[in-house]
Structure 1
């Protein structure tokens, strides 16, 4: 497990200064204006400098070679737009939480199971992805009086990570960093009957050889392994951004039936694919999900710690 850098470089410092400047411009506006403004800045400034379009195009070429140039350009714009909105929403803290709460966003066939399981004091494992705004899911659950933990990966840029971590902590607690100490805290939380959101949609060097969009996509097994180990339902959940660009529908899908971890996580991949195909610009295609040219080990994730 790679540790984030403790000391930043000059490039890190300059990048963080630029990010702070954009945030300051956006955050000075009222909520309804700052979210679309940050979306515009992401499209015009962040995406070109960070190489978003190149990565989006690479992923689409790998799994959706049937798309027209116009469709690809539209998805590139939507990915950057959604990224900018998500950043502005995260840094809006409790104002973002209140707006999600007011929209009564939670829906779906798994909602009753989620609530009933928590009412019994039993753990729930949520399978989440970099889709829509993943923090809208946490805000919506908190609005229902529920406590949801989540695992996050500290950013490589330590200057940016300092204020980013503070921002996501203000949306909901607890949060567990993806390191040894965080894993210990996560296991204790689950054992106590906690509900936790675990991401599964990024390339895993030691993940199981599963598929996503019909292509090999090494996938972590830990969400399914935790669910099986602690007799918890594994429930996919996704916050779908609505056409106004500000509100969400938080879809709580039906629990994935228990089985082999590989089968369970393939089901999670398949359900995410259905959501992404319906809203292509809301998934973060910038992540290199497939990496077909990268040799990898055939071993799967280690089992959850005791």
Structure 2
């Protein structure tokens, strides 16, 4: 949740300002480089400088060990560092709006869900595209925007208002209607959906008071709002992923078959199962630093198997 600058205690505000200054310095330094260099540069900085210094590497490593205790310790560390690298790459890709749109224009979108998307647009049926903090979902949205689709999204403001000011701008700059979470944003989101629009929702983070479902073999609170909206407005519910390719710059854009309408809990568990399979196939591409399993009191945990 974003805080207004005037309402923040002086010490917290100073920390936010300093954090934003450091982040902007790295971002601006990366943006001065050619695209093929800036993406791996910020990936390396996040994995080897910012991540370890901020404690993100240790936290991510603990989460990997919790979810995948069968893997050796060295693999936990490798996956955690690769995850931070992907985070840095994704961040600067999304700040490189023109470059990302140019690279993704004409990019192929595979999977049975893409044909369903096309058919839904032709008949004016709403579509909710669901994904998580995996690979770079904006690469798929950029490909769809380049192909003429009007794909919007709903995003959550960051708590740091100084960083959020320019971070939010990147999502608006990419194109398509974008709405911030909150009463006004949600109202616009619903209007776009009811008019037969296509919208993106990320569902893979902890939400307080949400139902407890299984995520990577452990109970985790998961918002069921995407499934509820799909049922309420007769919208297709299509999981999709921008899977980072081996070159670190390209993406495999995949849209899976729509999740059948049933009840919100069953549909949301199918969403968890979908992204869970993607994470197991490409564990270094998920945001392991996120505190996903708060429901059972697991925050960071030790680097070794916390169970």
Q: CA RMSD in A?
A: 1.3
Map of 1:31-110 to 2, 5 A cutoff?
Answer: 31-102=35-106, 104-110=107-113
For residues 109-139 of structure 1, give each alpha carbon's deviation from its aligned partner in whole angstroms, at most 9, with x where no partner exists. 1110011101111100111100001211210
Give 2:236's aligned residue.
233
1:20 aligns with 2:20: no
Q: Name the CA distance, whole Å, in 1 between partners of 2:162 and 2:126.
A: 35
Residue ranges of structure 1 left out of the alignment (5+ in a row): 296-306
Give 2:126's aligned residue.
123
- Give the count of matched residue pairs: 292
Give how far 1:292 is off: 4.2
Give 2:305's aligned residue.
none
Give 2:278's aligned residue.
275
Q: Are 1:138 and 1:172, in contact at CA under 8 Å, matched by a contact in 2?
A: no
1:158 aligns with 2:156: no
**Is 48-57 or 174-183 further displaced after alignment?**
48-57
Q: Are 2:67 and 2:217, in contact at CA under 8 Å, matched by a contact in 1?
A: yes
Give 1:6's aligned residue.
4
Q: TM-score if structure 1 supplies the norm length?
A: 0.93
Residue ranges of structure 2 left out of the alignment (5+ in a row): 299-307
Question: What is the DSSP-based 3-state SS (H/G/I as helix, E as strand, rest coil) of the residue aligned with 1:151?
Answer: strand
The one of 225, 250, 259 equivalent to 1:247 is 250
Q: 4+ runs of 1 displaced by more than 2 Å?
A: 292-295
Give 2:304's aligned residue.
none
For residues 194-224 of structure 1, give each alpha carbon's deviation from its aligned partner in whole angstroms, at most 9, with x where no partner exists. 1111111001112111101111011111111
Question: What is the DSSP-based 3-state SS (H/G/I as helix, E as strand, rest coil) of the residue aligned with 1:138?
Answer: helix
Q: Name the CA distance, whole Å, in 1 between partners of 2:99 and 2:61.
A: 34
Question: What is the DSSP-based 3-state SS (H/G/I as helix, E as strand, rest coil) of the residue aligned with 1:216?
Answer: strand
Give how far 1:51 is off: 1.6
Q: Are 2:113 and 2:255, in contact at CA under 8 Å, matched by a contact in 1?
A: yes
